[in-house]
Amino acid sequence: MPGYELWSDAERKEVNDVLETGILMRYGFDGPRKGIWKAKELEEAICNSFGCKQAMLVSSGTAALTTAMSALGIGYGDEIILPSFTFVASFEAVLSVGAVPVFVDVDDTLTLDPGAVRKAITPKTKCIMPVHMCGSMADMEALQAICKEHNLLLLEDACQSIGGSYKGKKLGTIGDAGTFSFDFVKTMTCAEGGVVMTNREDVYINSDGYSDHGHDHKGIDRGADLHPFIGYNFRISELHAAVGLAQVRRLDGFLATQKKNHAVLKEILSAIPEVSFRRIPDAEGDSCTFLSWFLPTEEITRAVVTEMKARGILAGNFYWYDNNWHYIRKWDHLKNAVTLNALHPDLKSSVIHHATKDFSASDAIMGRCISTSIALSWTDEQLKTKGEQMLGVIRKVLSEQKAAV
């Protein structure tokens, strides 16, 4: 899955370009940088690769979400609908702008259930935020229709699905804005970094200023920039952008390898009738970072996880139901609204209310799901061995379950 698996001289060359100038900041220092503008180059490459009009690099995927929300005018009292299965950064970003995260159930796509989204809409709802988890997409057609019907913003958290698409459009470029994370374990990495993508000029201008202390960037003298609004420091460095520039040029190769390995592993697991797979709204658009599969019951799934651990082959197989980062069941700090800074009492009560609702529909799905990360570095023999080991575990557990009945 991660681009770091296939590190090369291409990344070293781009980084060395920056080190030779000594200019690590993306803005200013026009003379000493000798024409080296890696962040600008990467933004242009992202627009060309993903088909968006504008791209604004920032320091992380979390910063990208916070910047996008602010650029879209989302703030105190607004409600953002997002899935119960996501990374904690999704709701952290919502809280950072003073908005209310309204969690709803996922369906067998492992993303937003459109029916649950409809039920969650209130007069305070301002935005729907699908999270394209584990390489694949939400039902964007259904969510776009809901947004149009209710005049809502659509913000895509595509941090885990770089290179995926939906009906010919790249994930992250379909809504009012979209975000990627370029952290160390993403398909394309900057080591740390993120980007806001948009086709709206106003969102780009707002993102450009917000991520750099409100600078308007209209002149060549940074000290003379105006500040139309208050911003923060979410800048990416030239070093991080340099890594990403090499990686985006290699992305097609990464994706081709992911898809090949994903297809092989899926074919191996398909030999077991009791194994089913995640529903993907547009199979051609799956970036294939994970193979997500289901077993008949939570009991069987837990037994498979236990047996994998006992055999030393659990690494790379994620049981999200017990995961502290990605599923709402274990987010006690959110359910109790534990923060270092004081939240407004109304916001705090809203957070607790929405985080402690009944998510039994999601539980029924996540309790049976295992996601296997797809490595880029597997040899054919390693991939075959991994699949056979997984088959052995699943067959053993299923046999024991049948014998116990």
**Active site residues per annotation:** 186
Cβ burial 163-195 (10 Å sphere, 16+ → b, else e): bbbbeeebbbbbbbbbbbbbbeebbbbbbbbbb
Q: How far is CA 295 from the centre of its chain?
A: 25
Whole-angstrom distance, CA of residue 270 vs CA of residue 170: 28
Rounded distance between C-alpha atoms, residue 24 and residue 40, angstroms: 13
List, as own/partner pairs, every contact residues 201-209 make where C-beta atoms lie below 8 angstroms and the sequence separation is at least 24, other chains included: 201/53, 201/54, 202/71, 203/54, 203/68, 203/71, 203/72, 203/176, 203/177, 204/53, 204/54, 204/56, 204/71, 206/70, 206/71, 206/72, 207/56, 207/58, 207/67, 207/68, 207/71, 207/177, 208/56
Cα 58 from chain centroid (whole Å): 15
Q: In whole angstroms, what is the distance from residue 96 CA to residue 65 CA?
A: 10
